[in-house]
Amino acid sequence: MTAGPEETIAFEPAPAARTGLTARLQHHHLAIAAVLTLALVAPLAAQSFVTFQLTLVMIYGLAILGLNLLTGFNGQFSLGHSAFYGIGAYTAAILMDRWDISYVWTLPAAGGVCFVVGFLFGLPALRLQGIYLALATFALAIATPQLLKFRPLEPLTGGVQGIVILKPDPPDFVQHALSGLHLKPIDADQWLYYFTLAVILVMFTAAANLVRSRTGRAIMAIRDNPIAAAAMGINTALYKSLTFGASALYTGVAGALGAIAVQFVAPDSFTFLLSVSLLVGLVVGGVGSIPGSLFGGVFVLFVPNLAERVSTGLAGAIYGVILLLVIFLMPSGAAGFARMLAARFGRRSRSI
Amino acid sequence: MMLEVRGLRAYYGEYQALHGIDFALDEGHIRTLLGANGAGKTTVLRALCGMVRSGGDILFDGRRITGWATEDIVRLGVAHVPEGRGTFLRLSVEENLQLGAMSRRDRTAIAQDIEQVYAQFPRLKERRQQQAGTLSGGEQQMLAVGRALMLRPRLMLLDEPSFGLAPLIVEELFDRLGEVNRERGVAMLIVEQNAALALDLAEHAYLLETGRVVMNGPAAEIGADESVRRAYLGY
Amino acid sequence: MELLLQQVLAGLATGAIYACMALAVVMIYQAIDHLNFAQGEMAMFSTFIAWQIIQWGQPYWVAFIAAVALSFVGGVAIERILFKPLHNAPILSNLVGFIALFSILNSSAGFIWDFNIKTFPTPFGTQPLLGGGLIDTHEAGMIGVTLLMLALLYLFFRGTRLGLAMRAAAHNPESARLVGVRVGWMTALGWGMAAAIGAVAGMLIAPVVFLEPNMMLGVLLYGFAGAVLGGLTSPLGAVIGGFAVGLIENLAGTFIPYFGRELKLSIALVLIVAVLMVKPSGLFGRPTVSRV
The more confidently predicted of residues C126 and A285 is A285
pLDDT score at B209: 87
Average pLDDT over residues A227-255: 88
Q: Is the pLDDT confidence value at C292 over 50?
A: no
**Would you put residue B22 in left (φ > 0), alpha (ψ -120 to 50) or beta?**
beta
Helix (H) or strand (E) holding B208: strand B204-209
Predicted confidence band of residue B235 (pLDDT cuts 50, 70, 90): low
Q: Of C171, C183, C286, which has the smallest distance from its Cβ to B88's Cβ?
A: C171
Inspect the interface and report whether the beta carbons of B86 and C161 lie closer than 8 Å: no
Chain A hits for C111, Cβ within 8 Å: 313-314, 317
Chain C hits for B51, Cβ within 8 Å: 174, 177
Lowest-pLDDT choice from A93-97, A218-222, C255-259: C255-259
* Summary mean pLDDT of chain C: 84
CA C109/CA C214 separation, integer angstroms: 9
CA C44/CA C112 separation, integer angstroms: 13
Looking at chain C, the whole-number percentage of residues with pLDDT higher than 90 is 25
Give the chain C residue nearest B48 (alpha carbons): C178
Average pLDDT over residues A263-282: 90
Average pLDDT over residues B164-187: 90
CATH architecture of C2-278: Orthogonal Bundle (1.10)
Question: Residue A101 is which amino acid?
Answer: I
pLDDT score at B7: 92
CA B153/CA B146 separation, integer angstroms: 11
Question: Residue A29 is which amino acid?
Answer: H
CA C27/CA C236 separation, integer angstroms: 11
> For chain A, what is the largest distance between any 2 Cα atoms, rounded to a whole number of angstroms?
71
CATH no. for residue B203?
Answer: 3.40.50.300
CA-based nearest residue to C177, from B159, B71, B156, B47: B71
Give the chain A residue nearest C228 (alpha carbons): A132
Lowest-pLDDT choice from A17-31, B117-131, C188-202: A17-31
Side-chain half-sphere of A194: how many Cα atoms within 13 Å?
Answer: 15
In degrees rounded to 5, what are phi and psi of residue C232? Answer: -70, -5
Inspect the interface and report whether the beta carbons of C111 and A313 lie closer than 8 Å: yes
Chain C hits for B91, Cβ within 8 Å: 164, 167-168, 171
Q: Of C177, C288, C291, which has the smallest distance from its Cβ to B136's Cβ?
A: C291
pLDDT score at B18: 92
Task: Return the top range by mean pLDDT from A154-163, C24-33, C102-111.
Answer: C102-111
CA C235/CA A153 separation, integer angstroms: 41
Predicted confidence band of residue B48 (pLDDT cuts 50, 70, 90): very high
Q: Of B74, B134, B136, which has the smallest distance from its Cβ to C179's Cβ?
A: B74
CA-based nearest residue to A267, from A174, A166, A156: A156
Side-chain half-sphere of C14: how many Cα atoms within 13 Å?
Answer: 20
Q: Of A283, A317, A319, which has the smallest distance from its Cβ to C92's Cβ?
A: A283
Q: Is the pLDDT confidence value at B168 over 60?
A: yes
Q: Is the pLDDT confidence value at A1 over 70?
A: no
Average pLDDT over residues A159-177: 82
CA C171/CA C189 separation, integer angstroms: 15
Chain C hits for A70, Cβ within 8 Å: none
Inspect the interface and report whether the beta carbons of B90 and C286 lie closer than 8 Å: yes
Close Cβ partners of A284 (under 8 Å, ≥ 6 residues apart): A295, A296, A299, A300, A323, A326, A330, A333, A334, C96
Q: Exposure of A309 by Cβ count < 10 A (0-12 exposed, 13-18 middle, 19+ buried)?
A: exposed
Whether B155 contacts B187, CB under 8 Å? yes
Domain extent listing, chain A: 51-270
Q: Is the pLDDT confidence value at C260 over 90?
A: no
pLDDT score at B26: 92
* Summary mean pLDDT of chain B: 90
Inspect the interface and report whether the beta carbons of C266 and A149 lie closer than 8 Å: no
Average pLDDT over residues A275-280: 91
Q: How many domains does chain B have?
A: 1
Predicted confidence band of residue C291 (pLDDT cuts 50, 70, 90): very low
Q: How far is CA A61 from the centre of its chain?
A: 4
pLDDT score at A9: 42
Average pLDDT over residues B39-62: 91
pLDDT in tens, A127-139: 777 777 887 888 8
Give the chain C residue nearest B165 (alpha carbons): C292
Inspect the interface and report whether the beta carbons of A135 and C224 lie closer than 8 Å: yes
Whether A279 contacts A67, CB under 8 Å? yes
pLDDT score at C259: 56
* Mutation site for B-interface testing, chosen from C88, C175, C286, C292 by largest number of B Cβ within 10 Å: C175
Q: Is the pLDDT confidence value at A18 over 50?
A: no
- Give the structural domain span for B144: 3-233
* C257 in reach of chain A (CB within 8 A): no
Q: Of B79, B102, B133, which has the smallest distance from its Cβ to C290's Cβ?
A: B133
The more confidently predicted of residues A336 and A352 is A336
pTM of the model: 0.81
Lowest-pLDDT choice from C6-15, C56-65, C105-114: C6-15
Give the chain C residue nearest B130 (alpha carbons): C289
Domain extent listing, chain C: 2-278
pLDDT in tens, C54-102: 999 999 999 999 999 999 999 999 999 988 888 888 888 888 888 899 9
Average pLDDT over residues B189-218: 89
DSSP for residue B89 = T
Q: What angle do CA C176, C179, C180 make, to 5 degrees?
A: 90
- Cα torsion B143, B149, B150, B152 to 10°: value is 180
3-class SS at B10? strand
Q: Of A139, A280, A323, which has the smallest distance from its Cβ to C266's Cβ?
A: A139
Q: What are the percentages of helix, strand and coil residues in chain C, rounded to 5? A: 75, 0, 25
Q: Of A129, A132, A315, which has the smallest distance from its Cβ to C107's Cβ?
A: A315
Question: Residue B140 is which amino acid?
Answer: Q
In degrees rounded to 5, what are phi and psi of residue B20? Answer: 90, 75
3-class SS at C256? coil
Average pLDDT over residues B53-73: 91
Lowest-pLDDT choice from A180-184, A190-194, B81-85: A180-184
pLDDT in tens, B115-155: 999 998 888 999 989 999 899 888 999 999 999 999 999 99
Q: Is the pLDDT confidence value at A4 over 80?
A: no
Inspect the interface and report whether the beta carbons of A143 and C273 lie closer than 8 Å: no
Side-chain half-sphere of C65: how many Cα atoms within 13 Å?
Answer: 4
Beta bridge partners of B216: B206
Helix (H) or strand (E) holding C57: none
Predicted confidence band of residue A20 (pLDDT cuts 50, 70, 90): low
Q: Is the pLDDT confidence value at C211 over 60?
A: yes
Burial A148-180 (b: 16+ CB within 10 A, else e): bbbeeeeeebbbeebbebeebebeeeebeeeee
Task: Looking at the complex, report in whole angstroms how far the Cα of residue A213 sits from the nearest Cα belonging to chain C.
Answer: 26
pLDDT score at A239: 86
Lowest-pLDDT choice from A143-147, B64-68, C179-183: A143-147
Question: What residues of chain A, 123 to 152, have a C-beta less than 8 Å from chain C?
Answer: 124, 127-129, 131-132, 134-136, 138-139, 142-143, 146-147, 149-152
Question: What residues of chain A, 227 to 286, have a C-beta less than 8 Å from chain C?
Answer: 276, 279-280, 282-284
* Mutation site for A-interface testing, chosen from C33, C82, C94, C103 by largest number of A Cβ within 10 Å: C103
Chain C hits for A136, Cβ within 8 Å: 273, 276
Average pLDDT over residues C13-20: 85
Chain C hits for A142, Cβ within 8 Å: 221, 265-266, 269
CA-based nearest residue to C13, from C126, C100, C175, C98: C126
Residues in chain A, total? 352
CA A252/CA A114 separation, integer angstroms: 6
Give the chain B residue nearest C171 (alpha carbons): B88
pLDDT score at C282: 74
Average pLDDT over residues A258-284: 90
Average pLDDT over residues C255-283: 72
In degrees rounded to 5, what are phi and psi of residue B159? Answer: -105, 105
Predicted confidence band of residue A19 (pLDDT cuts 50, 70, 90): low
